[in-house]
Structure 1
Amino acid sequence: MTGIFPGGVAVSDLEVYDWEAADGCRSGSPHLHTASSEGYVVIAGSGAVQTLSAAGFDEQPLTPGDVVWFSPGAVHRLINHSDLRLLVVMSNAGLPEAGDAVLTFPTEVLDDPDAYAVAVALPAGEGRAAAARARRDLALEGFTVLRAGGAEALARFHERAVRLVRPRTAQWRAQWETTVVAETARVDAQLTALAAGEPGLMSAASVTRIAPTSPERSYGMCGRLHTWQWAAAPPRDSEASA
Protein backbone atom coordinates (compact mmCIF):
# COMPACT_ATOMS: atom_id res chain seq x y z
CA MET A 1 0.00 0.00 0.00
CA THR A 2 1.42 3.38 -0.96
CA GLY A 3 -0.81 5.52 1.28
CA ILE A 4 -1.78 7.92 -1.51
CA PHE A 5 -4.41 7.82 -4.23
CA PRO A 6 -3.39 6.23 -7.58
CA GLY A 7 -0.98 8.35 -9.56
CA GLY A 8 -0.27 10.64 -6.63
CA VAL A 9 -3.42 12.72 -7.10
CA ALA A 10 -6.14 13.87 -4.70
CA VAL A 11 -9.86 14.29 -5.36
CA SER A 12 -12.72 16.30 -3.89
CA ASP A 13 -16.46 16.54 -4.51
CA LEU A 14 -17.42 20.17 -5.22
CA GLU A 15 -20.80 21.89 -5.27
CA VAL A 16 -20.11 25.31 -6.83
CA TYR A 17 -21.35 28.35 -4.91
CA ASP A 18 -24.67 29.76 -6.07
CA TRP A 19 -24.01 33.20 -4.55
CA GLU A 20 -24.60 35.96 -7.08
CA ALA A 21 -21.59 38.22 -7.67
CA ALA A 22 -21.37 41.87 -8.72
CA ASP A 23 -21.41 40.92 -12.43
CA GLY A 24 -24.62 38.92 -12.03
CA CYS A 25 -22.93 35.52 -12.22
CA ARG A 26 -23.20 32.94 -9.47
CA SER A 27 -19.62 31.84 -9.01
CA GLY A 28 -16.65 30.71 -7.00
CA SER A 29 -13.46 32.64 -6.32
CA PRO A 30 -11.08 33.13 -9.27
CA HIS A 31 -7.58 31.85 -8.51
CA LEU A 32 -4.59 30.02 -9.93
CA HIS A 33 -2.22 27.29 -8.77
CA THR A 34 1.49 27.95 -8.74
CA ALA A 35 2.87 24.40 -8.96
CA SER A 36 0.02 21.98 -9.58
CA SER A 37 -2.44 21.09 -12.30
CA GLU A 38 -6.13 20.81 -11.45
CA GLY A 39 -8.87 19.04 -13.38
CA TYR A 40 -12.67 19.16 -13.35
CA VAL A 41 -14.98 16.27 -14.19
CA VAL A 42 -18.56 17.56 -14.40
CA ILE A 43 -20.97 15.12 -12.73
CA ALA A 44 -24.18 17.18 -12.44
CA GLY A 45 -25.82 20.49 -13.30
CA SER A 46 -24.55 23.10 -15.72
CA GLY A 47 -22.29 26.12 -15.72
CA ALA A 48 -19.11 27.46 -17.22
CA VAL A 49 -15.48 28.11 -16.41
CA GLN A 50 -13.79 31.42 -17.17
CA THR A 51 -10.02 31.35 -17.64
CA LEU A 52 -7.12 33.75 -18.07
CA SER A 53 -3.96 32.27 -19.53
CA ALA A 54 -1.31 32.92 -22.17
CA ALA A 55 -4.14 32.50 -24.70
CA GLY A 56 -6.10 35.36 -23.09
CA PHE A 57 -9.62 35.26 -21.67
CA ASP A 58 -11.87 32.31 -22.43
CA GLU A 59 -15.17 30.89 -21.21
CA GLN A 60 -16.19 27.29 -21.75
CA PRO A 61 -19.60 25.73 -20.99
CA LEU A 62 -19.74 22.85 -18.50
CA THR A 63 -22.29 20.04 -18.63
CA PRO A 64 -22.23 16.48 -17.23
CA GLY A 65 -19.45 14.42 -18.79
CA ASP A 66 -17.21 17.39 -19.62
CA VAL A 67 -13.58 17.24 -18.51
CA VAL A 68 -11.27 20.26 -18.40
CA TRP A 69 -8.01 20.91 -16.60
CA PHE A 70 -5.56 23.74 -15.97
CA SER A 71 -1.80 23.89 -15.84
CA PRO A 72 -0.05 26.05 -13.20
CA GLY A 73 -0.58 29.76 -13.77
CA ALA A 74 -3.98 29.55 -15.48
CA VAL A 75 -6.51 31.69 -13.60
CA HIS A 76 -9.91 29.97 -13.41
CA ARG A 77 -13.36 30.95 -12.14
CA LEU A 78 -16.31 28.57 -11.97
CA ILE A 79 -19.79 29.84 -12.92
CA ASN A 80 -22.87 28.01 -11.61
CA HIS A 81 -25.87 28.12 -13.92
CA SER A 82 -27.83 25.29 -12.29
CA ASP A 83 -26.65 23.02 -9.45
CA LEU A 84 -23.14 22.61 -10.89
CA ARG A 85 -21.26 19.76 -9.22
CA LEU A 86 -17.77 18.54 -10.05
CA LEU A 87 -15.26 15.89 -9.15
CA VAL A 88 -12.04 17.88 -8.75
CA VAL A 89 -8.78 16.04 -9.46
CA MET A 90 -5.59 17.66 -8.14
CA SER A 91 -2.02 16.70 -8.93
CA ASN A 92 0.78 16.42 -6.38
CA ALA A 93 -1.08 14.53 -3.65
CA GLY A 94 -3.11 17.41 -2.29
CA LEU A 95 -0.50 20.15 -2.65
CA PRO A 96 -3.15 22.54 -4.01
CA GLU A 97 -4.82 22.27 -0.59
CA ALA A 98 -1.56 23.17 1.18
CA GLY A 99 -1.55 26.77 -0.04
CA ASP A 100 -0.56 26.23 -3.69
CA ALA A 101 -3.44 28.46 -4.78
CA VAL A 102 -3.33 32.27 -4.99
CA LEU A 103 -6.58 34.21 -5.27
CA THR A 104 -6.90 37.20 -7.60
CA PHE A 105 -7.18 39.82 -4.86
CA PRO A 106 -6.49 43.51 -5.68
CA THR A 107 -2.80 44.38 -5.97
CA GLU A 108 -2.62 46.17 -2.61
CA VAL A 109 -3.59 42.90 -0.91
CA LEU A 110 -1.28 40.75 -3.03
CA ASP A 111 1.66 43.05 -2.27
CA ASP A 112 1.23 42.67 1.50
CA PRO A 113 1.66 39.07 2.78
CA ASP A 114 -0.02 39.90 6.08
CA ALA A 115 -3.01 41.48 4.34
CA TYR A 116 -3.24 38.49 2.01
CA ALA A 117 -3.21 36.07 4.95
CA VAL A 118 -6.07 37.96 6.58
CA ALA A 119 -8.09 38.16 3.35
CA VAL A 120 -7.76 34.46 2.52
CA ALA A 121 -8.48 33.07 6.00
CA LEU A 122 -11.92 31.89 7.09
CA PRO A 123 -13.12 31.92 10.72
CA ALA A 124 -14.20 28.75 12.44
CA GLY A 125 -17.89 28.18 13.06
CA GLU A 126 -20.49 30.90 12.66
CA GLY A 127 -19.67 33.53 10.07
CA ARG A 128 -17.69 31.17 7.84
CA ALA A 129 -20.15 31.36 4.94
CA ALA A 130 -20.23 35.17 5.01
CA ALA A 131 -16.44 35.29 5.11
CA ALA A 132 -16.16 32.87 2.17
CA ARG A 133 -18.54 35.04 0.16
CA ALA A 134 -16.61 38.23 1.04
CA ARG A 135 -13.39 36.48 0.02
CA ARG A 136 -14.97 35.56 -3.32
CA ASP A 137 -16.12 39.14 -3.90
CA LEU A 138 -12.66 40.54 -3.14
CA ALA A 139 -11.05 38.07 -5.53
CA LEU A 140 -13.56 39.06 -8.21
CA GLU A 141 -12.56 42.72 -7.83
CA GLY A 142 -8.99 41.82 -8.70
CA PHE A 143 -10.07 39.42 -11.43
CA THR A 144 -12.05 42.15 -13.21
CA VAL A 145 -8.99 44.41 -13.29
CA LEU A 146 -6.75 41.50 -14.27
CA ARG A 147 -8.99 40.53 -17.17
CA ALA A 148 -9.00 44.10 -18.50
CA GLY A 149 -5.21 44.36 -18.26
CA GLY A 150 -4.35 41.61 -20.72
CA ALA A 151 -1.08 39.69 -20.90
CA GLU A 152 0.96 42.33 -19.06
CA ALA A 153 -1.40 42.31 -16.08
CA LEU A 154 -1.36 38.50 -15.95
CA ALA A 155 2.46 38.50 -15.95
CA ARG A 156 2.50 40.94 -13.02
CA PHE A 157 -0.03 38.77 -11.16
CA HIS A 158 2.22 35.75 -11.68
CA GLU A 159 5.13 37.70 -10.17
CA ARG A 160 3.07 38.63 -7.12
CA ALA A 161 1.88 35.03 -6.73
CA VAL A 162 5.46 33.78 -6.74
CA ARG A 163 6.44 36.23 -4.01
CA LEU A 164 3.55 35.06 -1.85
CA VAL A 165 4.24 31.32 -2.11
CA ARG A 166 8.05 31.32 -2.23
CA PRO A 167 8.47 30.85 1.57
CA ARG A 168 6.48 27.60 1.39
CA THR A 169 8.34 25.86 -1.40
CA ALA A 170 10.72 23.89 0.85
CA GLN A 171 7.73 22.39 2.67
CA TRP A 172 6.03 21.63 -0.64
CA ARG A 173 9.15 19.90 -1.99
CA ALA A 174 9.27 17.68 1.09
CA GLN A 175 5.60 16.75 0.59
CA TRP A 176 6.13 16.09 -3.11
CA GLU A 177 9.17 13.91 -2.49
CA THR A 178 7.40 11.75 0.09
CA THR A 179 4.31 11.28 -2.08
CA VAL A 180 4.58 11.77 -5.84
CA VAL A 181 8.31 11.06 -6.15
CA ALA A 182 8.00 8.03 -3.88
CA GLU A 183 5.08 6.74 -5.96
CA THR A 184 7.10 7.17 -9.16
CA ALA A 185 9.99 5.26 -7.61
CA ARG A 186 7.58 2.50 -6.57
CA VAL A 187 6.33 2.13 -10.15
CA ASP A 188 9.91 2.15 -11.47
CA ALA A 189 10.85 -0.66 -9.09
CA GLN A 190 7.73 -2.63 -10.05
CA LEU A 191 8.49 -2.35 -13.77
CA THR A 192 12.01 -3.58 -13.11
CA ALA A 193 10.61 -6.55 -11.19
CA LEU A 194 8.12 -7.38 -13.95
CA ALA A 195 10.82 -7.18 -16.60
CA ALA A 196 12.80 -9.72 -14.54
CA GLY A 197 9.79 -12.02 -14.40
CA GLU A 198 9.08 -11.37 -10.73
CA PRO A 199 5.75 -10.32 -9.12
CA GLY A 200 7.36 -7.57 -7.04
CA LEU A 201 4.74 -5.61 -5.11
CA MET A 202 1.93 -7.86 -6.32
CA SER A 203 2.67 -10.33 -3.51
CA ALA A 204 1.74 -7.59 -1.00
CA ALA A 205 -1.44 -6.46 -2.79
CA SER A 206 -3.94 -4.60 -0.62
CA VAL A 207 -7.19 -2.63 -0.71
CA THR A 208 -7.47 0.79 0.96
CA ARG A 209 -10.58 2.67 2.04
CA ILE A 210 -10.15 6.35 2.94
CA ALA A 211 -12.37 8.07 5.48
CA PRO A 212 -14.05 11.42 4.73
CA THR A 213 -12.39 14.42 6.34
CA SER A 214 -15.77 15.51 7.69
CA PRO A 215 -19.40 14.40 7.25
CA GLU A 216 -20.29 17.98 6.27
CA ARG A 217 -19.10 19.99 3.31
CA SER A 218 -16.44 22.60 4.02
CA TYR A 219 -16.11 26.06 2.42
CA GLY A 220 -13.55 26.06 -0.37
CA MET A 221 -12.60 28.75 -2.84
CA CYS A 222 -15.10 27.65 -5.49
CA GLY A 223 -17.84 26.01 -3.47
CA ARG A 224 -18.78 23.50 -0.78
CA LEU A 225 -16.41 20.54 -0.61
CA HIS A 226 -16.41 16.93 0.45
CA THR A 227 -12.80 15.84 0.92
CA TRP A 228 -11.05 12.69 2.12
CA GLN A 229 -8.20 12.32 4.58
CA TRP A 230 -5.40 10.90 2.45
CA ALA A 231 -2.96 8.86 4.49
CA ALA A 232 0.13 10.79 3.38
CA ALA A 233 -1.43 14.25 3.05
CA PRO A 234 -0.69 17.12 5.47
CA PRO A 235 -3.48 18.66 7.57
CA ARG A 236 -5.82 20.80 5.49
CA ASP A 237 -5.74 24.53 6.17
CA SER A 238 -7.95 27.55 5.54
CA GLU A 239 -6.69 27.85 1.97
CA ALA A 240 -8.36 24.66 0.80
CA SER A 241 -8.52 24.52 -3.04
CA ALA A 242 -11.18 24.21 -5.69
Structure 2
Amino acid sequence: MTCSNIYDLKKIPIYYEELRGKKLFTKALSEIDVNKKSVHLFYYKNANIPICALPKLGVVIISKRGFLSFCYNFYFFINSFNTKNIEISKQNIFSIAKSALSHEIGHLLDPNLSNIKSASNEIILSIANGIIKYNIDLKDDYYYKKNLPLEIEDSIIQFKKNNVTREINAWNIGKTIANFQSDTERYIFEKIKEYALATYNYGNLKDIVAENNVEKYIKSLL
Protein backbone atom coordinates (compact mmCIF):
# COMPACT_ATOMS: atom_id res chain seq x y z
CA MET A 1 0.00 0.00 0.00
CA THR A 2 1.23 3.47 -0.83
CA CYS A 3 -0.47 4.99 2.21
CA SER A 4 -0.08 2.79 5.27
CA ASN A 5 -3.22 4.42 6.64
CA ILE A 6 -5.85 6.35 4.71
CA TYR A 7 -5.75 8.99 7.46
CA ASP A 8 -2.26 9.88 6.22
CA LEU A 9 -4.15 11.92 3.60
CA LYS A 10 -5.04 14.38 6.36
CA LYS A 11 -1.40 15.42 6.36
CA ILE A 12 -1.65 16.83 2.82
CA PRO A 13 -3.40 20.14 3.70
CA ILE A 14 -1.20 20.48 6.79
CA TYR A 15 1.97 20.24 4.71
CA TYR A 16 0.42 22.53 2.10
CA GLU A 17 -0.12 25.23 4.72
CA GLU A 18 3.40 24.73 6.06
CA LEU A 19 4.66 25.26 2.50
CA ARG A 20 2.64 28.50 2.49
CA GLY A 21 0.32 28.02 -0.46
CA LYS A 22 1.28 30.40 -3.24
CA LYS A 23 4.91 30.49 -2.07
CA LEU A 24 5.01 26.73 -2.66
CA PHE A 25 4.56 27.37 -6.39
CA THR A 26 6.87 30.38 -6.61
CA LYS A 27 9.59 28.27 -4.97
CA ALA A 28 8.84 25.40 -7.37
CA LEU A 29 9.08 27.83 -10.29
CA SER A 30 12.48 29.01 -9.03
CA GLU A 31 13.82 25.46 -9.48
CA ILE A 32 12.42 25.02 -13.01
CA ASP A 33 14.76 25.75 -15.90
CA VAL A 34 12.71 28.40 -17.71
CA ASN A 35 12.81 32.15 -18.28
CA LYS A 36 10.85 33.29 -15.22
CA LYS A 37 9.65 36.43 -17.02
CA SER A 38 7.78 34.26 -19.52
CA VAL A 39 5.65 32.53 -16.86
CA HIS A 40 2.97 34.28 -14.82
CA LEU A 41 1.34 32.47 -11.90
CA PHE A 42 -2.26 33.36 -11.04
CA TYR A 43 -3.15 31.95 -7.63
CA TYR A 44 -6.67 31.63 -6.21
CA LYS A 45 -6.97 30.71 -2.55
CA ASN A 46 -10.73 30.11 -2.42
CA ALA A 47 -11.68 29.03 -5.96
CA ASN A 48 -11.73 25.39 -7.03
CA ILE A 49 -9.82 25.54 -10.31
CA PRO A 50 -7.64 22.65 -11.54
CA ILE A 51 -4.08 23.73 -12.28
CA CYS A 52 -4.05 24.72 -15.94
CA ALA A 53 -2.16 26.78 -18.52
CA LEU A 54 -3.27 29.64 -20.77
CA PRO A 55 -0.51 29.52 -23.41
CA LYS A 56 -1.49 32.68 -25.30
CA LEU A 57 -1.13 34.69 -22.10
CA GLY A 58 1.86 32.82 -20.68
CA VAL A 59 -0.24 32.14 -17.58
CA VAL A 60 -0.53 29.15 -15.25
CA ILE A 61 -3.64 29.21 -13.04
CA ILE A 62 -3.46 27.53 -9.64
CA SER A 63 -5.94 27.23 -6.78
CA LYS A 64 -5.58 25.80 -3.31
CA ARG A 65 -8.61 23.52 -3.57
CA GLY A 66 -7.70 22.43 -7.09
CA PHE A 67 -4.18 21.44 -6.06
CA LEU A 68 -5.27 19.64 -2.89
CA SER A 69 -7.84 17.70 -4.92
CA PHE A 70 -5.09 16.79 -7.38
CA CYS A 71 -2.92 15.48 -4.53
CA TYR A 72 -5.74 13.39 -3.04
CA ASN A 73 -6.62 11.88 -6.41
CA PHE A 74 -2.97 11.17 -7.19
CA TYR A 75 -2.45 9.27 -3.95
CA PHE A 76 -5.70 7.34 -4.40
CA PHE A 77 -4.54 6.42 -7.92
CA ILE A 78 -1.11 5.12 -6.96
CA ASN A 79 -2.58 3.43 -3.89
CA SER A 80 -4.56 1.23 -6.31
CA PHE A 81 -1.38 -0.40 -7.60
CA ASN A 82 1.45 -2.38 -6.13
CA THR A 83 3.96 0.40 -6.65
CA LYS A 84 6.94 1.92 -4.91
CA ASN A 85 5.94 3.84 -1.82
CA ILE A 86 5.59 7.62 -2.18
CA GLU A 87 5.44 8.93 1.34
CA ILE A 88 3.06 11.76 2.15
CA SER A 89 5.67 14.27 3.26
CA LYS A 90 6.28 17.99 2.96
CA GLN A 91 9.08 17.41 0.44
CA ASN A 92 6.94 15.12 -1.70
CA ILE A 93 4.02 17.57 -1.72
CA PHE A 94 6.51 20.15 -2.97
CA SER A 95 7.70 17.72 -5.66
CA ILE A 96 4.10 17.08 -6.75
CA ALA A 97 3.56 20.84 -7.13
CA LYS A 98 6.80 21.20 -9.07
CA SER A 99 5.94 18.29 -11.38
CA ALA A 100 2.45 19.63 -12.12
CA LEU A 101 3.83 23.13 -12.69
CA SER A 102 6.56 21.81 -15.02
CA HIS A 103 3.89 20.10 -17.11
CA GLU A 104 1.78 23.25 -17.42
CA ILE A 105 4.84 25.29 -18.37
CA GLY A 106 5.47 22.57 -20.95
CA HIS A 107 2.23 23.69 -22.62
CA LEU A 108 3.48 27.29 -22.67
CA LEU A 109 6.74 26.23 -24.33
CA ASP A 110 5.33 23.71 -26.82
CA PRO A 111 6.37 24.92 -30.32
CA ASN A 112 3.75 22.65 -31.90
CA LEU A 113 0.82 23.91 -29.85
CA SER A 114 -0.57 26.19 -32.56
CA ASN A 115 -0.44 23.33 -35.10
CA ILE A 116 -2.22 21.03 -32.66
CA LYS A 117 -4.86 23.69 -32.01
CA SER A 118 -5.33 24.20 -35.75
CA ALA A 119 -5.76 20.45 -36.25
CA SER A 120 -8.32 20.36 -33.42
CA ASN A 121 -10.28 23.17 -35.06
CA GLU A 122 -10.35 21.25 -38.35
CA ILE A 123 -11.62 18.15 -36.55
CA ILE A 124 -14.30 20.15 -34.73
CA LEU A 125 -15.42 21.59 -38.06
CA SER A 126 -15.60 18.04 -39.44
CA ILE A 127 -17.72 16.97 -36.45
CA ALA A 128 -20.04 19.96 -36.96
CA ASN A 129 -20.46 19.03 -40.63
CA GLY A 130 -21.19 15.43 -39.63
CA ILE A 131 -23.85 16.50 -37.15
CA ILE A 132 -25.56 18.51 -39.90
CA LYS A 133 -25.12 15.79 -42.52
CA TYR A 134 -26.64 13.05 -40.36
CA ASN A 135 -29.25 15.33 -38.76
CA ILE A 136 -28.20 14.56 -35.19
CA ASP A 137 -30.49 16.23 -32.67
CA LEU A 138 -28.30 17.86 -30.01
CA LYS A 139 -31.41 18.56 -27.90
CA ASP A 140 -31.78 14.82 -27.35
CA ASP A 141 -30.17 14.19 -23.94
CA TYR A 142 -28.86 10.82 -25.09
CA TYR A 143 -27.71 11.63 -28.63
CA TYR A 144 -24.06 10.91 -27.80
CA LYS A 145 -24.90 7.42 -26.48
CA LYS A 146 -26.55 6.26 -29.69
CA ASN A 147 -24.79 4.52 -32.57
CA LEU A 148 -22.99 7.35 -34.30
CA PRO A 149 -22.05 7.39 -37.99
CA LEU A 150 -18.55 6.03 -38.60
CA GLU A 151 -17.49 9.39 -40.03
CA ILE A 152 -18.21 11.12 -36.71
CA GLU A 153 -16.71 8.29 -34.64
CA ASP A 154 -13.48 8.62 -36.65
CA SER A 155 -13.42 12.38 -36.02
CA ILE A 156 -13.88 11.83 -32.28
CA ILE A 157 -10.97 9.38 -32.26
CA GLN A 158 -8.78 11.87 -34.14
CA PHE A 159 -9.76 14.62 -31.69
CA LYS A 160 -8.75 12.43 -28.74
CA LYS A 161 -5.45 11.49 -30.40
CA ASN A 162 -4.73 15.17 -30.91
CA ASN A 163 -5.35 15.84 -27.22
CA VAL A 164 -3.10 12.93 -26.23
CA THR A 165 -0.32 14.36 -28.42
CA ARG A 166 -0.74 17.78 -26.81
CA GLU A 167 -0.52 16.33 -23.29
CA ILE A 168 2.46 14.07 -24.05
CA ASN A 169 4.33 16.99 -25.62
CA ALA A 170 3.79 19.06 -22.48
CA TRP A 171 4.97 16.24 -20.22
CA ASN A 172 8.07 15.64 -22.34
CA ILE A 173 8.96 19.34 -22.31
CA GLY A 174 8.19 19.51 -18.59
CA LYS A 175 10.65 16.71 -17.94
CA THR A 176 13.47 18.58 -19.69
CA ILE A 177 12.97 21.71 -17.56
CA ALA A 178 12.07 20.19 -14.19
CA ASN A 179 15.68 20.17 -12.95
CA PHE A 180 15.09 17.21 -10.64
CA GLN A 181 16.79 17.47 -7.26
CA SER A 182 16.65 13.74 -6.50
CA ASP A 183 15.74 10.34 -7.91
CA THR A 184 12.59 10.45 -5.77
CA GLU A 185 11.51 13.70 -7.38
CA ARG A 186 12.10 12.22 -10.83
CA TYR A 187 10.06 9.15 -9.86
CA ILE A 188 7.21 11.32 -8.58
CA PHE A 189 7.18 13.22 -11.89
CA GLU A 190 6.91 9.97 -13.86
CA LYS A 191 4.09 8.65 -11.66
CA ILE A 192 2.17 11.93 -11.94
CA LYS A 193 2.58 11.79 -15.72
CA GLU A 194 1.23 8.22 -15.66
CA TYR A 195 -1.69 9.28 -13.46
CA ALA A 196 -2.54 12.33 -15.56
CA LEU A 197 -2.50 10.51 -18.89
CA ALA A 198 -4.55 7.64 -17.47
CA THR A 199 -7.26 9.84 -15.96
CA TYR A 200 -7.42 12.81 -18.35
CA ASN A 201 -10.97 13.26 -19.66
CA TYR A 202 -10.50 13.03 -23.43
CA GLY A 203 -14.25 13.35 -23.85
CA ASN A 204 -17.16 11.87 -25.76
CA LEU A 205 -19.22 13.68 -28.41
CA LYS A 206 -21.30 15.50 -25.77
CA ASP A 207 -18.15 16.82 -24.06
CA ILE A 208 -16.62 17.90 -27.37
CA VAL A 209 -19.81 19.73 -28.40
CA ALA A 210 -20.12 21.51 -25.04
CA GLU A 211 -16.47 22.47 -24.58
CA ASN A 212 -15.61 23.53 -28.13
CA ASN A 213 -18.53 25.70 -29.26
CA VAL A 214 -19.60 23.11 -31.83
CA GLU A 215 -23.12 24.55 -31.96
CA LYS A 216 -21.58 27.88 -32.97
CA TYR A 217 -19.75 26.10 -35.82
CA ILE A 218 -23.04 24.50 -36.86
CA LYS A 219 -24.86 27.85 -36.96
CA SER A 220 -22.08 29.31 -39.12
CA LEU A 221 -22.45 26.42 -41.58
CA LEU A 222 -26.23 26.61 -41.95
Query: Could you tell me the TM-score, scaled by structure 2's length?
Result: 0.27
Query: Could you tell me the TM-score, scaled by structure 1's length?
Result: 0.26
Higher relative contact order by CA 8 Å / sep ≥ 6: 1 or 2? 1
Specify which structure has the higher proportion of helix.
Answer: 2
Tell which structure's C-alpha radius of gyration is larger: 2
